[in-house]
Structure 1
Amino acid sequence: MTAPATKLIHHPYSPPEGFAAPQPGIFKASTIIFPSVAAMRTRDWRHKSGYTYGLHGTPTTFTLEERIASLEGGLQCVLVPSGLAAIANVALALLKSGDEVLIPDNAYGPSKALAEGELAGFGITHQFYDPMSPADLSARINERTKLIWLEAAGSVTMEFPDLLGQVRIARERGVICALDNTWGAGLAFNAFDLDGKGLGVDISVHALTKYPSGGGDVLMGSVTTRDEGLHVKIKLTHMRLGFGVGANDAEAILRALPSMSLRYRAQDQAARTLAHWCAEQPQFARVLHPALSQAPGHSHWKEVCGAADASAGIFSVIVDERFTSAQVDHFCDALKLFKIGFSWGGAVSLVMPYALGEMRSKPQAHLARGFVVRFCVGLEAATDLREDLAQALKAALSA
């Protein structure tokens, strides 16, 4: 081996073992080198016992998967390119033509769109159930029901369901239940042990885009389980779909995880401060925040999240119906610190207006008429955010 080009590719030097630092290394690979054909034929990528191809895992992604599994209270985890990809991975692993999935009516919008679009095209039916009525959920389960989605708190309108009741129904009827746990983030409650006695969901999906990333610059999701057979089903579908995540993205989340609980708590406390202030403003007919005593499902939040006293950094308001859509938009435009944008969990506070009629299949008795505005609180000082809300109200929604 004398040619410089060959020496650069096949250089014999390997750095010494034993290097340790606060952050794990970044391993980027599509091709994985095997020491022998025998090793190639015996390695098992499904259980992290070896490396076969970059899509199936590297030391970087395996490390992140294990940390997310611990955070969620699970035993196994797979990483996917987004939170929606996590939802799709579960659906495609567990459902086939002729099956039915039940989805709460206040679920994450793209999850409902997936059921109405691709899943329906595959011959998989769906029903939207009332998330605040366990009886409605129970009544909709039939012999074709193979998956029940749960969400706590509900998307945008923030209702907190009777999670314990919903999981008990799924258990009694023998149906797998999966929770979108992005709001709880593994910090508000243990999805796999909701009551301290082992009652929990079968699957927890998480948009790592939100709190684990914390920077508003990474798209990633996870699917966590405690059952080996269920994990293998999900992992095989994960492989066949070709889901993979970049090492730099995984490294960014690994770097952010140590501060996640601090950020979650800070954003939670700021959101509660602002929610209480908003409840005193006559322009808002209702404030939707699970930790507020008058909020839909507050008692269920207290039952599940009371020990941790955790409630994320998100809340919504229903603007009094005397104000028009244009005035609500003007209010959002008038905000200076709250930026108009989707997602949450980052350092920058966000705002987004919604029309209730376009989001729910049936009217909700507990929701006042009017337009909904969601606030996702970042890491700015709560006093500054309150002043921003006050000036925007004065500019656009004078009482």
Structure 2
Amino acid sequence: MEVDVVVVGGGAMGSAAAWQLSRRGRSVVLLEQFEQGHHIGASHGATRNFNMAYAEADYLDLVTEAKDLWDELAGESGRQFLDLVGLVNHGNAGQLKAVRSAHAERGIESHFMTASEAANRWQGMNFRGDVLVVPGSGRVRAAEALAALREAAEAHGARFEYSTPVRDIRVAGDHRAVVVTDSAEITARRVVVTAGAWTSKLLGNLVRLPRLVVTQEQPAHFTPLDDSLAWPSFNHNPDPDDPRDDYWYSPVYGMLTPGEGIKAGWHGVGPVTDPDARSFTPEPVQLDALVRYVREWLPGVDPASAVPISCTYTSTANEDFVLDRFGPIVVGAGFSGHGFKFTPAVGRVLADLADGGAAPARFTARR
């Protein structure tokens, strides 16, 4: 079989790349090693934060584009994917001022509230210092978006094959590679690898990537005490000058997941793991610390109601994404922890790379 592009990995980024490529008229086959809707990687779950609180120009460019593309996907599918309930950012005042300054330069709406003003508006939360509110942020309906990306890609002619592990990728020139599965060999002009926690295992020494660390993360859902309370999405950074935050493992993120509760979690500090040998069992000390955080900062939920979730992060040392091409191999990796909001824009960048274009310099593996 011969096609223009094989996409390896059917999570959010691979599905978005297939959508972007197929709508350009490319013949696309996507291969996913697990069944559709599996919970073994990083793209499952009902919601993710949609957060525009970045100070870096590259990320602001990408998230602004992503917002427009989420709306385009909504137009194609007839479904809504962004719930712009607002997002509050608090803690570390210096970081928040840098974000607000970057927003002001670009005309992105955001503003500061005092802690008392924020607590009066969002009575399920506690605040210590000034709060940066981004009204045009909120959450992404992640599970619905994943299904819609597949449907949109298939509507443009892409083919998705689940339960189809890739056993080998053989490079046969700058514009030719062969992808080997248990039942077929597929020749393609480009192979887009978006394999999440399996990226390094799959590619081996085929391309030179920055070190990708796979961790098992354990956010949890907590039951609200009052269903009438309004909940924004949130990011909370520890205050480096306040010893009361010394027990924190990292910044905390969270949002309402309708029907499941308030999701809260540490960011990228779970135990390093082999994605094929995960325990799926919460690390008890980190979970206890998360429950303590919820008890102190989220008075609108029951801290004893924690239902842990297990997922993987695949992270670079500086948390920047990897978006690059090596001959016929295009790689998208290192998204975990803050990538999902960018999904359709990342799909566009991966499609550009497959078509011979370039990614922003920040995201290239060889910078």
Question: Normalized against structure 2, the TM-score is what?
Answer: 0.28
Bigger strand share: 2
Bigger helix share: 1
Which structure has the higher relative contact order (CA within 8 Å, separation 6+)? 2
Query: Which protein is bigger by CA-based radius of gyration?
Result: 1
